[in-house]
């Protein structure tokens, strides 16, 4: 696991296990609802590697069984990642602050990345030995490598990657849980509706003894159910029979009562149907007073923060309302010469590396997407971000100083959680504010037209930046940290200016005052005696 050229102190990985007692008190089950064996977690050698293979086992023709090694490593990874997947939610819901730090999840993710590198090299060995071929396949929410036997008698069923199966099953459970919560919410609303009927009189409830005897109008009385729609008459709240109607002209006929009651029920149903579906990214929208922000974009060699490495970081500052600081340095050159300088200042680009194992495996897709060849990202010139304490501390200081902006910000947030020491704690304590330009594009950009390919409109950074005049129509998103950060902030500033002129977005009826964005609010429990 050594990157040649520099020494790294990994003692923090072992020290992180000191918080296992805190985690075990709060978190009993993993993301797949299995009991967690915390003694097993404590036994893991996070500093030196948690896989069963040694470097000699990566070589074609080694005496060891590549099938058995791969099977054992996959079992460890599935078990470990189910624990990591549950830790973020557990940490954020620890309102009593029994869990002091997020170091343990970061340490487990650190070890899992190296384990994932090992798994990739074992697959490569099987290819080199002619045992199987590997092709990536899209399976609903994730892409997984699929092994196909290259000759008769090679068993691969028990060494297939189960990530898609696991992730999709979790998503279905979350969907079922949401449906259950929605049903419970509907039940509560129905109970309130029925309680209102009881309070105001209905077939089941009979007369409302508290109704005023001499009242001549229902308006303003408790007999009004929903938005001033009268259900029954004050003088005789009970539903009358035909005989009652014949002898008492003040009674409300049953047919009229049922019509009124059905109208109220239909009103509730219509209101429910008109309720917009929850779009969870709305909480990341900016407010009308947002000004100084730091835009940031990460490039990685994968999508999962517990498997992939951060290889490129770009960030810069821009003021959305006030003038650019006069003393801010100028003259930074972007990869694209035509990029509008705008009001950006304090730009930075940092390159990071990967393990020797990840470099050996390579990643052709990342070369095609970004131009970065991770096979060249080793050695002293390319420290690994998850081992660079100084880089993490500098970034944390910046991330907590003002709101940070990203496009699909949950991606950056998830990598910060498992890579930046202190970020999770700062976020939980409300010191991090996140603004996302993705919901700005989806909700406030009329040019984001739904299509068969993009049911919610084309809200990629590339498309959003072009619609907002931050990227030429004949060009494309660069997929480099600083360049993508720049076009994102320019698009955001142009968009906010347009929205303000048209009294939309933050300046519309549902807009937010202040900075806006997502920020955790303390939910410490206050016990009553």
**Could you report the per-residue pLDDT of 326-349, keeping only the tens digit for each?**
888 766 667 666 666 678 898 898
Structure confidence at residue 454 (pLDDT): 80
| Per-residue buried b or exposed e for 67-81, using 16+ beta carbons within 10 Å of the residue's own CB | bebbebbbebbebbb
Structure confidence at residue 468 (pLDDT): 92
Structure confidence at residue 483 (pLDDT): 87
Least confident of 168-172, 175-179, 248-252, 501-505: 248-252
User: In CATH, which of 2.40.70.10, 3.50.80.10, 3.30.420.10, 3.10.20.30 is domain 282-502?
Assistant: 3.30.420.10
Q: What are phi and psi of 351, to 5 degrees?
A: -110, 140
Structure confidence at residue 223 (pLDDT): 36
Handedness of CA 411, 415, 416, 418 (dihedral sign): positive
Pairwise CA distance, residues 448 & 310, whole Å = 30
Q: Mind listing the pLDDT tens digit for each residue in 374-401? A: 999 998 899 999 999 999 999 999 999 9
Pairwise CA distance, residues 494 & 492, whole Å = 6
Structure confidence at residue 360 (pLDDT): 96
Q: Mind listing the pLDDT tens digit for each residue in 449-489? A: 777 778 778 899 999 999 998 887 766 666 777 889 999 99
The sheet that has 434-436: what strands, in order across it? 345-351, 310-319, 292-300, 404-406, 434-436
Structure confidence at residue 4 (pLDDT): 41
In the chain, ranges of CATH 3.30.420.10 domains: 282-502
Structure confidence at residue 477 (pLDDT): 64
Q: What are phi and psi of 49, to 5 degrees?
A: 115, 145
Q: Mind listing the pLDDT tens digit for each residue in 240-254? A: 555 554 554 444 455
Structure confidence at residue 193 (pLDDT): 76
pTM greater than the 0.85 cutoff:
no
The fraction of the chain above a pLDDT of 70, given in percent, is: 78
Structure confidence at residue 7 (pLDDT): 66
Instruction: Name the band, by pLDDT with cuts 50, 70 and 90, for residue 125.
Output: very high
pLDDT higher for 106 or 258? 106
Least confident of 134-148, 217-231, 303-317: 217-231
pLDDT higher for 255 or 286? 286
Pairwise CA distance, residues 411 & 304, whole Å = 9
Q: Supply the mean pLDDT for the chain.
A: 84
Residue 239 reports pLDDT greater than 80: no
DSSP structure string for 256-320: HHHHHHHHHHHHHHHHHHHSPPP-GGGGG-B-TT--EEEEEEEEESSS-TTT--EEEEEEEEEES
Least confident of 119-133, 274-288, 412-426: 274-288
Structure confidence at residue 229 (pLDDT): 37
Structure confidence at residue 233 (pLDDT): 38
Q: Mind listing the pLDDT tens digit for each residue in 35-82? A: 999 999 999 999 999 999 999 999 999 999 999 999 999 999 999 999
- Going by their DSSP bridges, the two strands 229-230 and 224-226 should be labelled as antiparallel
């Amino acid at each position: 696991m050594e990157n040649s050229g520099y020494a790294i102190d990994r003692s923090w990985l072992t020290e992180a296990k000191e918080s296992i007692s805190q985690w075990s008190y709060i978190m009993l089950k993993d993301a797949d609802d299995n009991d967690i064996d915390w003694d097993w977690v404590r036994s893991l050698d996070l500093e030196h590697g948690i896989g069963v293979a040694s470097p000699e086992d990566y070589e074609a023709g080694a005496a060891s069984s590549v099938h058995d090694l791969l099977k054992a490593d996959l079992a460890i990874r599935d078990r470990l990642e189910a624990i990591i997947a549950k830790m973020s939610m557990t940490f954020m819901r620890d309102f009593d602050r029994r869990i002091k730090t997020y170091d343990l999840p970061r340490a487990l993710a650190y070890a899992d990345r190296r384990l994932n590198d090992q798994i990739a090299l074992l697959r490569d060995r099987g290819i080199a030995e002619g045992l199987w071929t590997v092709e990536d396949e899209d399976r609903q929410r994730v892409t997984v490598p699929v092994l196909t036997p290259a000759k008769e008698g090679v068993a691969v069923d028990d060494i297939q990657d189960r990530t898609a199966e696991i992730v999709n099953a979790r998503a279905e459970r979350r969907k079922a849980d949401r449906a259950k919560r929605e049903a419970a919410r509907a039940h509560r609303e129905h109970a309130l509706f029925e309680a209102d009927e009881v309070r105001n009189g209905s077939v089941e409830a009979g007369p409302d003894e508290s109704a005023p005897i001499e009242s001549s109008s229902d308006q303003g009385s408790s007999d009004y159910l929903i938005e001033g729609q009268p259900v029954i008459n004050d003088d005789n709240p009970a539903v009358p029979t035909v005989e009652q109607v014949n002898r008492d002209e003040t009674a409300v006929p049953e047919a009229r009562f049922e019509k009124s009651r059905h109208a109220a029920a239909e009103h509730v149903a219509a209101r429910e149907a008109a309720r917009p579906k929850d779009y969870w990214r709305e909480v990341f929208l900016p407010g009308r007073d947002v000004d100084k922000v730091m835009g940031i974009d990460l490039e990685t060699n994968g999508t999962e923060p517990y498997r992939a490495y951060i290889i490129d970081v770009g960030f810069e500052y821009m003021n959305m309302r006030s003038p650019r600081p006069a003393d801010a340095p100028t003259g930074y050159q972007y990869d694209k010469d035509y990029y509008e300088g705008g009001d950006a200042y304090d730009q930075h680009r940092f390159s990071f590396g990967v393990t020797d194992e990840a470099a050996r495996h390579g990643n052709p897709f990342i070369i095609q997407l970004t131009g970065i060849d991770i096979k060249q990202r080793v050695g002293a010139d390319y420290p690994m971000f998850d081992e660079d304490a100084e880089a993490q501390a500098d970034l944390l200081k910046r991330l907590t100083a003002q709101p940070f902006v990203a496009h699909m910000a949950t991606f950056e947030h998830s990598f910060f959680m498992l890579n930046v020491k202190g970020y999770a704690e700062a976020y939980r304590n409300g010191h991090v504010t996140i603004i996302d330009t993705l919901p700005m594009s989806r909700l406030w950009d009329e040019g984001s037209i739904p299509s068969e390919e993009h049911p919610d409109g084309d809200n990629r950074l590339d498309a959003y930046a072009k619609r907002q005049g931050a990227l030429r129509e004949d060009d494309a998103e660069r997929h480099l940290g600083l360049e993508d950060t720049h076009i994102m902030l320019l698009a955001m500033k142009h968009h906010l200016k347009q929205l303000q002129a048209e009294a939309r977005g933050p300046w519309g009826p549902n807009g937010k005052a202040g900075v806006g964005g997502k920020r955790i609010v303390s939910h410490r429990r206050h016990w009553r005696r």
